[in-house]
Amino acid sequence: MVSKKVTVVNAMGFHMRPATSFAGAMGKYPCDIKLRVGGKDVNAKSLMNIIAACIKCGTEVEVICDGERETEALAEATGMIESGLGE
């Protein structure tokens, strides 16, 4: 298992568009990917779970990957969040 903490930097946080591209990118990996936000775990491959978590700009998120290709998944996930989720 690998994990890393990052901060959400894009102004609107994980709203529909960024959440869609994020969950889509995570879906390509075979490992489990979770976002730990304020003590709760969110399935990073589930757009619905991400939206329900209502993750705003400035929030610290721990990305936790476990399983096949976990290092690669972690790098892409944290890279996407840190670069503002394409916004």
Partner 1 sequence: MEKGIGASKGYGIGKVVVYRPADLHYTPKTGCDPETEKKRLADALGRFLERNERLRERVRETAGDAAAEIITGHIMMLQDPYMSSEIEKQIDEGVCAESAVESVCDLFIGMFSSVDDEMTRQRATDVSDIKQEMLGLLLGVRTVDLTDLPKDTVLVARELTPSMTACIDRECVVGFVTELGSKTSHAAILARAMEIPAVLSVENALEKYADGQLVVVDGVRGEVVASPEEDTVARYMQLRLDFNAARAENAKFVGKETRTADGRRVELFANIGTPEDAENVLSNDGEGVGLFRTEFLFMDRSAMPSENEQFEAYKKALLILKGKPVIIRTLDIGGDKEIPYLGMEKEQNPFLGFRAIRYCLHNPEMYRAQLRALLRASAYGDLRIMIPLVTGVDELRQVRAMVAELMTELDERAIPYRKDIPIGVMIETPAAVLVADRLAKEADFFSIGTNDLTGYTMAVDRGNAKVAYLYSAFSPAVLRSIRHVIETARAAGIPVGMCGEAAADPALIPLLVAFGLDEFSVTPTSVLATRKEISRWSKAEADRIAETVLSLDTEKQVVAELGKYI
Terminal CA-to-CA distance of the chain, rounded, Å? Answer: 29
Say how far apart CA 23 and CA 39 lie, in whole Å: 20
Say how far apart CA 46 and CA 2 lie, in whole Å: 20
Instruction: Based on the shown chain and the rule CB under 8 A, indicate whether residue 3 belongs to the binding site for partner 1.
Output: no
Q: How far is the CB of 85 from partner 1 (least distance, A)?
A: 12
Q: How far is the CB of 41 from partner 1 (least distance, A)?
A: 12
Say how far apart CA 35 and CA 53 lie, in whole Å: 10
Using DSSP's 3-state secondary structure scheme, residue 31 falls into coil
Closest CA relative to residue 1, chosen from 50, 36, 40, 38: 36
Find the binder of partner 1 among 5, 7, 11, 40 (CB under 8 A). 11
The catalytic residue positions are: 15
Find the binder of partner 1 among 57, 66, 72, 75 (CB under 8 A). 57
Q: How far is the CB of 75 from partner 1 (least distance, A)?
A: 22
Given the rule CB under 8 A, which residues bind partner 1? 10-12, 15-17, 20, 23-24, 27, 43, 45-49, 51-52, 54, 56-58
